[in-house]
Structures are given as C-alpha cells and as structure tokens.
Amino acid sequence: MNKKDIENCYERIRTRIQRTPLLHSDPLDSRLGKGHKIYLKCENFQITRSYKPRGALNALLKKPKVPVVTRSSGNFAQAVSWAGAQLDIPVTIVMPENVSSIKMEGTRKWGAEVVIAGTTYQEQYDKVDELLRQRGEGHSISAFNDLDVIEGQGTVALEVVEQMPAFRHFFAPVGGGGLMSGCATYLKETDPNYEVIGVEPEGAADFFQSRQQGKICRVENADTIADGLRSPSVGEINWPILNRYVDESMVVPDQAIIESMRYLFEEVGLVIEPSGATSLAALVAHPEWEPKGDMVFVLSGGNVDMKKFMVWMR
C-alpha cells in the first residue's frame, strides 16, 4: 500500500462520504498551543459520527459482494452496517456484552444483524468463525488489519493535506492501527518532514510497549474509558507500517482524555467520545512536550453515551 493507493481509494469513495472540516480554535491555541496553532480534524461529523465509514466502504467496494460477518465494539460496526446498506450487502456484527447502547443502536439503525458474544476479542472472533461455518458463505473484515480498510482510513490525512498543507505535527489515536497506518503512510510519502505522533490510553498502551520492545505486544483486558482503543494489539499488517512511519508514541491517562473532552465541549462546542479526544489529550498529559510548528489532531469520533458524557463534564 502506498500514497497512490490512498488517492485511488479517495476517488472510489469520495461521493459517498463526508469531507469533514478542519477547524482552528483560538481558545485551544491559548490553552495548549505554546505559540502555535491547533487544528481539529472533525471526524465526528463523518457519516455514523466516526472516520470508520471510509475504510468500511472501500473494503466492501473492493471485496467480493457476499455477506459480511465481523466483530466490533461500536464504530466499525456502524460503519460496516452503513456501507452494507449502501451496497445491498447483508451484514452481521458480533459485539461484546458490554457494548455501548448508543453504538449498538447505531449499528442496528442501518439494518445489520447484531449478535452478542462474551466480553473479550477472542470470544467475538470465535463467534465470527462459528457463524461463517454455520452459514457456509460470506467473509469477515478486520476493523484495522486489512489493507483495503487502511487505504480508506488514510483518506483522513489526504483531506488534511488538501485543506491545510502547512502544518508540522499530526496526532491520531492508535487502537488496532488502521487509522494511523493509513494516515502515516500518506503523510510520510507526501512530505517526510511531517511529524506523526500516535496516542494511546495508559490502560491500553500496547503500541507504546511494542515500540519499546521491537515486536508486537499485547495488552489483555485493556482498562480505559476509550472503548474504541481497547484492541489487545495492533494488527500484523499495521505493525510494520506503524513502525516505519510513526515518529513518536505517547501515552495518556483517562483523566487527561476527560479533560480534553471538556476543553472541546467548553471551548469549541464539540461532543467527542473518549477515543476521539485521545489525540488532544497528548498535550494535556505532556505539558513538557514542545511543538515545533502548527498541529493537527484527529477527533476520531463522537459516539458517546450522553449520560456518561455529562458526568465526565462535571
């Protein structure tokens, strides 16, 4: 996969997705910018309120038109359900017992069948395999460990460069690594001087550990409010891409994520889910970090239970 693949992907999906805004915030500059500007890539305004439809749609367009069975804790589930509805492809999503009600409702809204299975990734992957065997047709799509999905997620960075090419630092959350793999590829193959920074919660910092040890590490039973970043490890496809193109890995506590959500709500009027605010939490958690230029932060989603959100905002 390379920059040209991502550009071809964008031509394939651009008429069906939203071109999300890149917002500048003077209040955030004053609070966190240290003399540089802060820009927010607002994927909460994407269809299904996260960046995930980019990769889901590209994958369904490129793969055989057969039923899809996959697992997801929420945002990818909604994206695949939406993409299946656009292309008239039946979709079944395996979700964990502790899935957010708003994400389950969002998945069912687009017509997907939802199957609940356990609380661990492995239990859900086993259920996917079982359903595929029982039905005798279809295939599964990974939310991150799939080149077609990665191409789609890389279009986030493509839009950023088109909207404002003159920035220095690019921050995005890392869960399984689909978003960051695509974005880092596009950015580094456009201009190696872009500095790419991946951000994870302390309770799910498998990529940070992987970078330190030089191999894929797993964090079982991740403990963080950022439910979209609880993947036990980055994907095998993602790992070499991330290792090649990501300049720095940062880890943030949940409290910094909550504080970032509060800043975004109070200063910009945005309702962002914990996973979506994790990129900005890097500045909150690491005041010692010094930017060398303007910064872009991917707000990866806005699917959050409003009762929990208002508790966090107190």
Catalytic positions are: 52, 300
Give the sign of the dihedral formed by CA 27, CA 30, CA 31, CA 36: positive
Q: Give the DSSP H or E segment for 23.
A: strand 22-24
Angle value at C-alpha 106, between 103 and 110, nearest 5 degrees: 145
CB-based contact 94:71 (threshold 8 Å): yes
Residue 92's nearest CA partner among 139, 58, 45 is 139
| The two structure tokens encoding residue 204 | 């799910």
| The two structure tokens encoding residue 238 | 């993602």
Residue 126's nearest CA partner among 105, 155, 96, 148 is 96
Burial class (CB in 10 A: 0-12, 13-18, 19+), 90: middle
CA distances from 94 to 51, 122, 143, 157, 228 (A): 20, 11, 12, 29, 15
Give the Cα separation of 217 and 142 in Å (integer).
Answer: 19
Give the Cα separation of 225 and 60 in Å (integer).
Answer: 30
